[in-house]
Amino acid sequence: MLNKKRIFLIIFSLFFFLISFNSISYANYSTNFNSSNIQLISPSINNLEGDNFFIIEGFSIYNKVWACARTPDNKLVIYGIDVIDGKFKKVLPLRFGPGTYTIWVSDNQNYFDGSIRFEIINNSTKDIRYSSPSYFIDSDNQFIIDLISQIIIPEMNDMEKILIIHNWITNNISYDYNKYLYGSIQTSTASQTLLNKKGVCQDYSLLMAAMARASGLEARVVYGQGLQNNIWQSHGWNEIKVNDQWITIDSTWDAGYIQNGLFIFSPSMKYFNANNDFFSLTHYSLSYMNY
């Protein structure tokens, strides 16, 4: 019989597989800006043109609404939008370069029935997928912005910035071994991990990306396999662009290690900008996440 740890690893692998291939249900209906419980003020016309961003604004009875965007290259990304006193307004990035984006709006982050559907045309040729905020990499969150303002100074170069961020994470975020064994596989936002001060590899990598983007660096999350105790397991880490070159960082493994079911803080630099030959001995990349 499979033990609980093995079951979790199987579910965790399946979760990342589904996210990687955008397992979101949506329907292609005609253009519409209102449903029974969500009404948009902006945009109010189809094929509105934007320049890397557009404003979504309206009313809803829900506490939160969700936008799903299908990018010009057929990726799916979602955005959570808070509703306050029945109103919402948020600037959403068109992260994946120029072209036509199809947008759905719903009260369910996994199901978009087409009740609200429209298209936005991005005229900018700039690809901002690794520099702008996303729902899970919420680099525009005020807690993350405040932290970056405390630890980063304008005079720092790119390498100094990411080194400070790496060291802060590995010294302040604890590995959540209980979540690894028994916890929910629900993905947390970077700001939630910052507030919780603990997480698993996906949480470390999302927080690293958010803090890097908030400091002005491009950052992406890598999904793949990590070799521990001679077993390849689902794992996540980061690539950060420093001086126009992507460097590899695994802040999870640099934070410490598990011993007898307890996390032992032992911050290191072993997997910070590690040599590719060394890193590839224990890490196997499968894809970049759309976060």
| Domain extents in the chain | 24-122, 136-288
Find where tokens 């405040």 sit.
146
Q: Which of 250, 279, 273, 267 is nearest to 167 (CA)?
A: 267
What the block records as the tokens of 165 is: 């961020």
SS3 string, the chain, reads: CCCHHHHHHHHHHHHHHHHHCCCCEECCCCCECECCCEEEEECCCCCEEECCEEEEEEEECCCEEEEEEECCCCCEEEEEEECECCEEEEEEECCCCCEEEEEEEECECCEECCCEEEEEEECCCCCCCCCCCCCCCCCCCHHHHHHHHHHCCCCCCHHHHHHHHHHHHHHHCEECHHHHHHCCCCCCCHHHHHHHCEECHHHHHHHHHHHHHHCCCCEEEEEEEEEECCEEEEEEEEEEEECCEEEEECHHHHHEEEECCEEEECCCCCCECCCHHHHCCCEEEEEECCC
Phi, psi of 203, rounded to the nearest 5 degrees = -70, -45
Considering only the C-alpha atoms of the chain, give the largest distance between any 2 of them, rounded to a whole number of Å: 59
Check if the beta carbon of residue 267 is closer than 8 Å to that of residue 53.
no
The pLDDT value recorded for residue 19 is 44
The pLDDT value recorded for residue 134 is 94
In this prediction the pTM is: 0.88
Class of domain 136-288: alpha beta
Q: Rounded CA gap, 53 and 288, in Å?
A: 22
Quote the CATH superfamily of domain 24-122: Immunoglobulins (2.60.40.10)
Find where tokens 């890598």 sit.
222
The pLDDT value recorded for residue 228 is 86
Q: Rounded CA gap, 196 and 199, in Å?
A: 8
Phi, psi of 221, rounded to the nearest 5 degrees = -105, 130
Check if the beta carbon of residue 76 is closer than 8 Å to that of residue 68.
yes
Check if the beta carbon of residue 140 is closer than 8 Å to that of residue 133.
yes
Q: Rounded CA gap, 198 and 188, in Å?
A: 11
The pLDDT value recorded for residue 11 is 39
Q: Rounded CA gap, 227 and 95, in Å?
A: 32
Low-confidence ranges of the chain (pLDDT < 50): 1-22
Q: Rounded CA gap, 105 and 83, in Å?
A: 13
The pLDDT value recorded for residue 216 is 97
